[in-house]
Amino acid sequence: MRSEDIAKLAGVSRSTVSRVINNYPNVPETTKAKVLRVIEQYQYEPNSFARALAGKRTDTIGLFAISMNEKENATRIYQNSYFAPIVDLVVDTANARGFYVLIHTVYSPGDFQKIKQAFLQKRIDGGILVGTQKDIELVRELVSQDAPLVLIDYDVSEVIAERLNKNHLAIINSMDYEGTAEAIEYLISLGHQEIGILKGRMSTFSGRERYAAFESTLLNHGLTLRQDYVLEGEFLKETAYVETEKLIKRGKLPTALFCSNDDMAIAAMEAFAKHGIHIPNDISIIGFDDTQLASTISPKLTSVRLPIDDMAKSAVEKVIGLCNNEEASFSNVSFPTRLVIRDSCKLIV
């Protein structure tokens, strides 16, 4: 069933069928109704490729999940508590707006080619990039072609410094700096003076932000930052576990440990438990991300909730807006985090 067939059945030309389908104003209600009836009856759907080829959009956006850390179990990206809700919200929001979502994972630099391809082959109108280690050169190439692009969790100053073409570009972040500061302030308000940190991967924007906020909040309060309380966790459970055990073996513990994500917080809790160190009585723990596990483990973990829902929804709105040319050509929005207080931190007297 092609538009030609519909045209014949309705006694009009293909042009008119097309006008009806695309809701052009200059077609009288009666012809419109006539055509629509036939379309309805035969469940006609215009061929999306022919449409796109003839100049219409594809009504498809790309969602590219980048995970290039060899240490992570690379084949489990959508089970990750960070990616999963993003997929959820992006797909739902896009679907609700009548867009399809093409989803692709990037595990190696070679896979970046696939992102470019999706654009060059005109498979998508725009794309959302999420995950660690976005390749600035790829981004440069994409934006130089005016491909509508949204970056989630990206350092804006890098974009500025690199003098990227900022047309059709949007950047979505969470306010990790402020969120971390709030968490540390909370610990301080409980009376903690000796606070340690499990750092995230410093090659990521969020890893750097969380550490920077930790450092400056301590300094602002005149607290000392002991280097043996600074653990390189790299956002990974295994690394965090090992580092925590090293800390324990060194003898002296901080009274509180800020963990740059929940995975590491849980690993630390396991390490402490194994050595008979009780949470929160012996040491207070605070996580980041507020994953599902945070409220499930015992004791329940106090954590900083990431505004993933807002970020994902906003990313879709932005990319659709950019495709429609109804968005300002460059935007940069950050959503606030929220400290969720549970049972893993203790008041010091």
Partner DNA sequence: CTGAAAGCGCTTACAG
Q: Which stretches of the chain bind DNA, using CB under 7 A?
A: 1-4, 12-19, 21-22, 26-28, 31, 44, 46-47, 50-51, 53-56
Taking a C-beta distance cutoff of 8 angstroms, is the pair 199, 230 a contact?
A: yes
Which of DNA, a second copy, none does 297 bind, CB closer than 5 to 8 A by kind? a second copy
Secondary structure of residue 318 in the 3-state scheme = helix
Tell me: does residue 101 bind a second copy (CB under 8 A).
yes
Taking a C-beta distance cutoff of 8 angstroms, is the pair 174, 334 a contact?
A: yes
Residue 94's nearest CA partner among 46, 60, 52 is: 60
CA distance linking residue 216 with residue 239, whole number of Å: 25
CA distance linking residue 155 with residue 170, whole number of Å: 12
Nearer to DNA, 19 or 305 (CB): 19
- Judged by CB under 8 A, the chain residues 181 through 200 that form the site for a second copy are none
Nearer to DNA, 28 or 251 (CB): 28
Q: How many residues bind a second copy (CB under 8 A)?
A: 47
* Angle in degrees, 0-180, between the axes of helices 112-120 and 136-144, rounded to the nearest 10: 10
Taking a C-beta distance cutoff of 8 angstroms, is the pair 111, 71 a contact?
A: no
Which of DNA, a second copy, none does 190 bind, CB closer than 5 to 8 A by kind? none
Tell me: does residue 5 bind a second copy (CB under 8 A).
no
Binds a second copy (CB under 8 A): choice among 8, 14, 123, 166 = 123
Which of a second copy, DNA, none does 100 bind, CB closer than 5 to 8 A by kind? a second copy
- Eight-state DSSP code of residue 295: G
Taking a C-beta distance cutoff of 8 angstroms, is the pair 175, 337 a contact?
A: yes
Binds a second copy (CB under 8 A): choice among 297, 310, 330, 335 = 297
CA distance linking residue 169 with residue 150, whole number of Å: 6
Tell me: does residue 259 bind a second copy (CB under 8 A).
no
Backbone angles phi, psi at 177, to 5 degrees: -60, -55
Which of a second copy, DNA, none does 325 bind, CB closer than 5 to 8 A by kind? none
Binds a second copy (CB under 8 A): choice among 292, 295, 324, 333 = 292
- Judged by CB under 8 A, the chain residues 19 through 58 that form the site for a second copy are 43-50, 52-53, 58
x/- contact string, 298-337, with a second copy (CB under 8 A)?
A: x---------------------------------------
Give the CA diameter of the chain: 88
Least CB distance to DNA at residue 33 (A): 11
CB count in 10 Å sphere of residue 42: 12
222: left (phi over 0), alpha (psi -120 to 50) or beta: left
Q: Which residues bind a second copy (CB under 8 A)?
A: 43-50, 52-53, 58, 60, 75-79, 81, 84-85, 87-89, 91-92, 95, 100-105, 111, 114, 116-118, 120-123, 266, 292-293, 296-298
